Amino acid sequence: MSQPNTSNQTSAAQTAALDARSWGHAEDFVQPGDVLRDARSKAVELGLETISNGSITALRFITRLLQAKAVVEIGTGTGVSGLAIFEGMGNEGILTSIDPEPERQDAARQEFRAAGIPSNRFRLIAGIPLDVLPKLRDGAYDLVFINGDKLEYVEYVAQSLRLLRHGGVVVLNDALWKGLVADPDNEDDETLIIREALAAVSETEEFTSMLLPVGNGLLAAIKA
């Protein structure tokens, strides 16, 4: 007779013990500053989803841990994630952010200026990410943050592997996609593509990955 997997049982019991109140406490453990709160409000006004406070905290932490100086962001939004990256970078760090919607980048530019970030530290490119990314230099970036079109996530992962230096990190937002990625019965287009992207990272020998249950899910992987 097979023996029960006590490791899985223990893990399930520990997870069940973390109720919504505990998750909320973790999400709000580190509070955003005024500029980040303003940027998130702008996103709401434009009808855009924005990353959660927990995701902001994790992104800032990873950027600081890497001592990142060159970052690519796919999906500018209103500058919320960009501000988190700037808070993690040193004074010489440069952000290259790509988004197909110029109005979003206009909002982000205003937020960056309000935060006192010099214009020579960010490059906002209004364009289709899959048209722009191949023009960026191989192995030149410390961090790639993926937060663009969900249906292009697999291609973004492939581009990230090329763009990152050894020891660089790719961070993929919405890795749990509204709780649907873990639902085996859900076969929506976005869900399927995100699953493929997660599998692509896991199956790439050069990546060592982890999945963080913050916000809508963050996958982070370091390139060997």
CATH of the domain at 120: 3.40.50.150
- Whether 193 is covered by a domain: the verdict is yes
What is the per-residue pLDDT across 119-156, written as a single tens digit (0 to 9) for each?
Answer: 999 999 999 999 999 999 999 999 999 999 999 999 99
For residues 27-53, give the mean pLDDT.
Answer: 83
- Whether 161 is covered by a domain: the verdict is yes
Does 103 or 10 have the greater pLDDT score? 103
Q: Rounded CA gap, 42 and 104, in Å?
A: 10
Q: Which residues contact 112 (CB under 8 A, 6 or more apart)?
A: 79, 82, 83, 86, 119, 122
Show contacts of 180-188: CB within 8 Å, 24+ apart.
181/217
pLDDT on residue 218: 97
pLDDT on residue 4: 47
- Whether 111 is covered by a domain: the verdict is yes
Range of the domain at 85: 18-223
For residues 153-172, give the mean pLDDT.
Answer: 98
Helices (H), the chain: 6-17, 20-27, 34-45, 53-66, 80-88, 102-114, 129-132, 153-163, 189-203
- Whether 48 is covered by a domain: the verdict is yes
In the structure, what pLDDT confidence band is assigned to residue 11 with cuts at 50, 70 and 90?
low
The H or E element spanning position 218 is strand 218-223
Q: Is pLDDT of 212 > 60? A: yes
Instruction: Read off the pTM.
Output: 0.91
- Whether 99 is covered by a domain: the verdict is yes
- Whether 138 is covered by a domain: the verdict is yes
Give the chain's domain count: 1
Q: Which residues contact 73 (CB under 8 A, 6 or more apart)?
A: 81, 82, 85, 95, 96, 97, 98, 144, 145, 147
- Whether 148 is covered by a domain: the verdict is yes
- Whether 219 is covered by a domain: the verdict is yes
In the structure, what pLDDT confidence band is assigned to residue 2 with cuts at 50, 70 and 90?
very low
In the structure, what pLDDT confidence band is assigned to residue 15 with cuts at 50, 70 and 90?
low
